Structure 1
Amino acid sequence: MAHKILLFMKRRPDLTVEAFRDYYETRHAPLAEKYSQGVTRYIRRYVDPQPHPETGTFTDGPDVITELWFDDEAIYRATLGYMTKSLMPDDIVADEANLFDRSSFRIATVVEHETDFGR
């Protein structure tokens, strides 16, 4: 069973979507890798908002949902405890200021259920 931590984050308002994604992939993700011991998958899911016929434009969501996957439950719990009680290392925090609206950060965990369509 995989354990996941989800990070919901918005880009700095002065960055274009393209600049945000490029910086995350070429600068921030490689920096974050050095602190990712025990992470088995590090996935960035970039959100492309779409209109809804009843509620309109999707403007209040994150620009990226980052997934940190763990096979080892003890490492997952330790990482989650650290992330929810401590600030990240100084070089990560400094780099995040180049990229994110840090006040938008949200952290969640998930319990997944999947429907098998038998296809």
Structure 2
Amino acid sequence: MVFKALLYITRKPGTTPTEFKTHYETVHLPLIQKLAGADFPLSHRRLYLARPAPGEDNSFPAAVLIGNQDDFAFDAIVELTFTDEAAFKVFFTRRQEAGTKELVDADEEKFLDQTKFKAVVLGEVHETTS
């Protein structure tokens, strides 16, 4: 059975949504792929919240349908899929290795708020399509 985790990622203050997404896609993700090598997840899916225009305070509010802005303080949800929990543990252990940890942490400091980073393991996933 596949193993999935969700990450909730928030951009660094002063970083626009476009800058955040561009850095993630063109710098951070290639770095993770290179460092993980064969241990990279089966899939690394990124879902960015719509933040169409800057607010009065240049905060880029989310396009909230139900709820309020405080409910959507994060900027991206990342879904990681691994063959199993053991594969996830190998990937995560590699992420924490000396040399790798410092490189990834230094890159993350450039575009995301590490104090707001959250992660959770997914249980069953059910999907209905037309």
Q: How does the TM-score come out when normalised to structure 2?
A: 0.73
Q: Cα distance 1:23–1:68, how it changes in 2: closer, same or farther (>3 A)?
A: same
TM superposition shift of 1:68: 1.6
SS of aligned partner of 1:112: coil
TM-align CA RMSD:
2.6
Q: Which residue of 1 aligns with 2:2?
A: 2
CA distance in 2, matches of 1:35, 1:111: 27
TM superposition shift of 1:111: 0.8
What is the letter of the counterpart of residue 9 of structure 2?
Answer: M
Deviates more, 1:95-104 or 1:33-42: 33-42
Asked if the contact 1:50/1:58 (under 8 Å) is kept, the reply is: no
Deviations 1:74-116 (A, max 9, x none): 2124445x48xx5861110000000101100111110124254
Q: Cα distance 1:70–1:61, how it changes in 2: closer, same or farther (>3 A)?
A: same
CA distance in 1, matches of 2:68, 2:84: 41
SS of aligned partner of 2:35: coil
CA distance in 2, matches of 1:38, 1:24: 16
Q: Which residue of 1 aligns with 2:77?
A: 65
Aligned length: 115
Structure 1: tracts of 5 or more residues without a match: none
Q: Which runs of 4+ in 1 moved over 6 A?
A: none
**Among the aligned pairs, what percent are the same residue?**
27
Asked if the contact 2:42/2:81 (under 8 Å) is kept, the reply is: yes
What is the letter of the counterpart of residue 41 of structure 2?
Answer: V
Q: How does the TM-score come out when normalised to structure 1?
A: 0.79
Structure 2: tracts of 5 or more residues without a match: 51-61
CA distance in 2, matches of 1:61, 1:11: 9
The structure 2 residue matched to 1:44, chosen from 23, 43, 46, is 46
